[in-house]
Structure 1
């Protein structure tokens, strides 16, 4: 599937973006989207022992001793992270985490939660990191609420490991003339709450009103599959999600008969692994691990396996989002 990238300049900095995608990403695989309950655990992968791992000494001692990095994640966002038919956590993020685990000598244990609770869970030390197709932005780094502009937390640091963008998709054969975000005025969008798509939708609704047009009505849901179900039932005209997720749904939902992407991708930005500001040793160890798997070729194999090679990065940056 091919799509061009378009930059939207009217959107304010977001404290709650999810992800964003550059270039064409042909999402492969025939796995079906599945939902899941909150706070389940899945170690998923055997990462080896710390003694055999080249980067183990970079980790904080307490994590080396435990042998586990606890990961907060919204595991209902195929193909980034989701449950397969056997209940195992799979996807781009779990595969990248497993490869990093080999370098660090630990297992990455994914714990499921809704996306809008992940940063709070990180602050409460329920997780060591949050890895969930989360966009690295200045607002998140600084703990700023995008809607109010007020500081609401200490902020987090990010280790950037991928790049992605946002797409619109509709029921197949029912595009209603939607080609750009400006075509959304007077429409109803279903979207996962507190994601980048949600922020873009709120900005577009304001723009519609400013231009004297009918507003964009927004219905937000805890997960993206719920938003898709709302559109399937004709309760909404369009869904917005990051391009890999949108393309995966278009390819797999209903055997490819349910949805179609409309228009171009917008707002490219980096995925980041979120780490507490005071945990710089863990942050730097994760950065070293991502760079190691980029160098040894494991990273390339993973993103090619999931059909998202156009989102590859050549270096893991700290707080590279804007």
Structure 2
């Protein structure tokens, strides 16, 4: 779920380089309206890193998270309607360190950074690629200023993939083969940016048609019905779709993943205390082993970082 210029270490929502097989497991509690997922230690002043948080968040006991909760296995609703995935599990683990609840509110991916600017969310955590365009608040295609930019607390590495209907690749083996084809993508992601860049290279008479959707599941439905030739999304999402859709009979990945880049938790530029508290919590769960357990649980261990850094995307 990614908006960028070069890729989910240089692009926009591609959403994990060389990630292993995706596992379906685990759930977090979904509470209240707006698809809110909470961690367990609300307002716990005994939490080891609680004093690093801004006073108003520590007092409220809540960090409001904007997320596109339709991007399995990073964040999605399970069959019971509960929100689960890599991001909610990591947030829950960080919440124990910080003594607050992370409340996940569902929103469209391309509106999450706007939600931070309007203070609807404190942060965005949604398989969002950390790149210079987002850091600087510029459009990756025009390079024009479109926002204030954000800081990122990096936590995972991911690349972008293409997948087609199983047994019906249409000769697609990579991005250059999309000319003359129709590709479905999630709006505002690195996949959309890469498709736009590729479309400019296509020869006359072989137009690349790009169909953007509000979420990745709609793009998958378009491909499944034959309305598109391919879908592009982050590798972990593509791998999960290939493994689970139709019992593994619907889709297949074609070509290699590209544009490996870090996912980051997005924080407003001026909110450095919250940013640094999140980085401290992320590094603590890396240190204590919870981070590795979560990534292993979801089949994403190959995308693990040794250390969380600020704005590591290029």
- Structures share fold, TM-score greater than 0.5: yes
| Aligned equivalent of 1:238 | 230
Change in 2 beyond 3 A, CA 1:30/1:236: farther
Q: Is the Cα–Cα contact under 8 Å of residues 158 and 236 in structure 2 kept in the other structure?
A: yes
| Aligned equivalent of 1:27 | 22
Q: SS state of the match for residue 282, structure 2?
A: helix
Residues in 2 aligned to 1:44 and 1:257: alpha-carbon distance in whole angstroms: 35
| Aligned equivalent of 1:34 | none
Residues in 2 aligned to 1:146 and 1:294: alpha-carbon distance in whole angstroms: 32
| Match runs of 1:110-259 below 5 Å | 110-209=104-203, 212=204, 214-259=206-251
Q: How far has the Cα of 1:49 moved from its partner?
A: 4.5
| Match runs of 1:277-316 below 5 Å | 277-316=269-308
Moved over 3 A (4+): 11-16
Change in 2 beyond 3 A, CA 1:165/1:13: closer
Residues in 2 aligned to 1:249 and 1:165: alpha-carbon distance in whole angstroms: 15
Q: Is the Cα–Cα contact under 8 Å of residues 20 and 267 in structure 1 kept in the other structure?
A: no
Residues in 2 aligned to 1:16 and 1:109: alpha-carbon distance in whole angstroms: 27
Q: How far has the Cα of 1:43 moved from its partner?
A: 2.7
Q: How far has the Cα of 1:44 moved from its partner?
A: 3.6
| Aligned equivalent of 1:8 | none
Residues in 2 aligned to 1:259 and 1:40: alpha-carbon distance in whole angstroms: 31
Question: Are 1:91 and 2:85 an aligned pair?
Answer: yes
Q: How far has the Cα of 1:143 moved from its partner?
A: 0.7
Residues in 1 aligned to 2:210 and 2:59: alpha-carbon distance in whole angstroms: 47
Q: Is the Cα–Cα contact under 8 Å of residues 21 and 265 in structure 1 kept in the other structure?
A: no
Q: SS state of the match for residue 235, structure 1?
A: coil
Residues in 1 aligned to 2:294 and 2:6: alpha-carbon distance in whole angstroms: 30
| Aligned equivalent of 2:30 | none
- TM-score, with length taken from structure 2: 0.93
Residues in 2 aligned to 1:191 and 1:174: alpha-carbon distance in whole angstroms: 18
Residues in 1 aligned to 2:5 and 2:39: alpha-carbon distance in whole angstroms: 39
| Aligned equivalent of 1:81 | 75
| Aligned equivalent of 1:274 | 266
2:255 to 240, 243, 263: 263
Q: SS state of the match for residue 51, structure 2?
A: helix
Residues in 2 aligned to 1:69 and 1:79: alpha-carbon distance in whole angstroms: 22
Q: Is the Cα–Cα contact under 8 Å of residues 5 and 141 in structure 2 kept in the other structure?
A: no
| Match runs of 1:41-120 below 5 Å | 41-47=35-41, 49-120=43-114
Q: Is the Cα–Cα contact under 8 Å of residues 43 and 62 in structure 2 kept in the other structure?
A: no
